Amino acid sequence: MAVRHSDTLPLGQRPPLLRLSHVDKVFSGDVVALKDMNLTVNQGDFISLLGPSGCGKSTALRIISDLMHPTRGKVEWEGDHGRGDLGVVFQEPTLMPWATVAQNVWLPFRLAGKSYAEVKDDVLEVLRLVGLEKFLNSYPRELSGGMKMRVSIARAIVTNPRLILMDEPFAALDEITRHKLNNDLLELKAKIGCTVIFVTHSVFESVFLSDRIVVMAARPGRVMAELKVDTPYPRGEDFRTSPEYAAHAREASAALKEAMGEPA
């Protein structure tokens, strides 16, 4: 099997993967996008960054993906970190419209100088994982919004990245598709055991998906609280209706309200 599977250890026993220490980002001299962010990402974590717009969630992702350098502070990876160790899913599917589904998923390998024949099995396997193996030769415009997002996820996991960054990936989708993709994302996580940082402004999404919720506040963007959702994976439909889920959602809502400066 080309796609690596790693088991996820329980919270508290996971080896560290990435450490952000005292990270500040200041734009044009006076706009503080991120203030003193400290975060340790462990192998197998599913972390949600939850917060209102302007809280620096996307800035944090851009710093982690090295698209932007912190004004102060450090980003340290455990061990070697190179190309293909990071998978990214944006809010838009961000597919190349002129390329087929298979060619889009091939992209990370293609940029690393690998021919399609060399990595064909990996491409087919991730497309099977997201349920799109029949759409190999389709062009993005022939797919629905949810299917495009699946291609985008397939592309992000095809290189076996150490960390997957997802920047509000389902925010633009309708509720039904979003619901389904949330379920499928957890199923995928159970299958390959990936580490994910997931940016969202939905309390429910963050509780359902993640085992760590980092609540952030805006102006300046900063971390306010971290909550743990210790319900073990796999989490299915019954989790959504459980009292546990409701309790976590209440807790996260309260933390978010506080972060936004409203009385809890």
- State the residues that interact with other proteins by CB under 8 A: 62, 65-67, 82-84, 86, 88, 90, 92, 94, 96-99, 107-108, 110-112, 130-132, 139-147, 176-177, 180, 184, 187
Residues 6+ apart with CB under 8 A from 141: 97
18 closest CA partner among 66, 70, 77: 77
Nearer to other proteins, 32 or 107 (CB): 107
The nearest distance, CB 97 to other proteins, in angstroms, is 5
The nearest distance, CB 236 to other proteins, in angstroms, is 14
Within 13 Å of residue 56, how many CA atoms lie on the same side as its CB? 30
Nearer to other proteins, 28 or 83 (CB): 83
The nearest distance, CB 221 to other proteins, in angstroms, is 19
The residue whose two tokens read 């990370």 is 108
Nearer to other proteins, 88 or 227 (CB): 88
The residue whose two tokens read 């952030």 is 216
168 closest CA partner among 56, 89, 83: 89
The nearest distance, CB 107 to other proteins, in angstroms, is 7
The residue whose two tokens read 């972390």 is 47
In the chain, at which residue ranges do the beta strands (DSSP E only) sit?
16-27, 31-42, 46-50, 72-77, 86-89, 163-167, 196-200, 212-217, 222-228
Nearer to other proteins, 177 or 202 (CB): 177
Within 13 Å of residue 239, how many CA atoms lie on the same side as its CB? 20
The nearest distance, CB 37 to other proteins, in angstroms, is 20
Nearer to other proteins, 185 or 227 (CB): 185
